[in-house]
Amino acid sequence: MSPRISLVSAVAASAVVLLAGCAGGGTGGPGAGDNRFIAGNGKLQEVAASNRHAAPQAGGATLEDKQVKLSDLRGKVVVVNFWASWCAPCRGEAPSLEQVYQQNKGKGVEFLGVNFKDDKDNALAFERRFKTSYPSLFDGDGRIGLAFKDVPPNAIPTTLVLDRQGRVAARLLGATTFSSLNPVVTKVLAEK
């Protein structure tokens, strides 16, 4: 194989890896130099209570311009979902997230979306289309995602489940489903 063909193959393979984390078109999306993302595979990572780290003091304005801080939700189990309107897997998981939210909101569970590196109008259209009823922080520059250093949301979508003490109890990297997320929420909710 010639060196030129090897180089072309290597460049093509790199492009496939960079695009594997999330498909979709439109405006927004991680910048070309944003190489900290990996492809989400839907894998669940649970963290034993003795090894959990506190979530950062993240917060900001929602898409509806209301202020929300994670620290205000302490005492409840909190599901934090990092998503974007340009992300095809995010569109696929949206109904499941809403179903888990509706089933658990009366049990002491809060949901908070984090709309990542997106266009605000597109994000609002996404929420209307998928009838998302929980709030989402607008993270146009990605600062909220970067604040989660101990258990980073390395793919879009990523879902974190925080325990009542505000510690990361689980991370689902990639799109989730009702049958994947609901048992995790139920398990963390049952912790005393």
Which residues is 167 bridged to in the sheet?
54
Q: Evaluate if residue 174 carries a pLDDT over 60.
A: yes
Report pTM: 0.80
Q: Would you state the structure tokens that stand for residue 104, as one six-digit string? A: 């658990």
| Ramachandran area for residue 29 (φ above 0: left; ψ -120 to 50: alpha; else beta) | left
Burial of 164 (0-12, 13-18, 19+ CB in 10 A): middle
Q: Would you state the structure tokens that stand for residue 114, as one six-digit string? A: 């984090």
User: Which class is domain 3-190?
Assistant: alpha beta
**DSSP output for 97-139:** HHHHHHHHGGGTEEEEEEEES--HHHHHHHHHHHT--S-EEEE
Amino acid at 154: N
Alpha carbon distance 169, 137 (integer Å)? 21
For 51-100, how does the pLDDT look when each residue is reduced to its tens digit (9 = 90+)? 998 889 899 999 999 999 999 999 999 999 999 999 999 999 999 999 99
Alpha carbon distance 91, 26 (integer Å)? 13
Q: What is the pLDDT of residue 4?
A: 44
> Helices 88-104 and 120-130: crossing angle, nearest 10°?
50
Alpha carbon distance 130, 67 (integer Å)? 22
Q: What is the pLDDT of residue 29?
A: 46
Structure-model confidence comparison of residues 99 and 147, the more confident one: 99
Average pLDDT, the chain: 83
Alpha carbon distance 99, 103 (integer Å)? 6
Q: Evaluate if residue 191 carries a pLDDT over 80.
A: yes
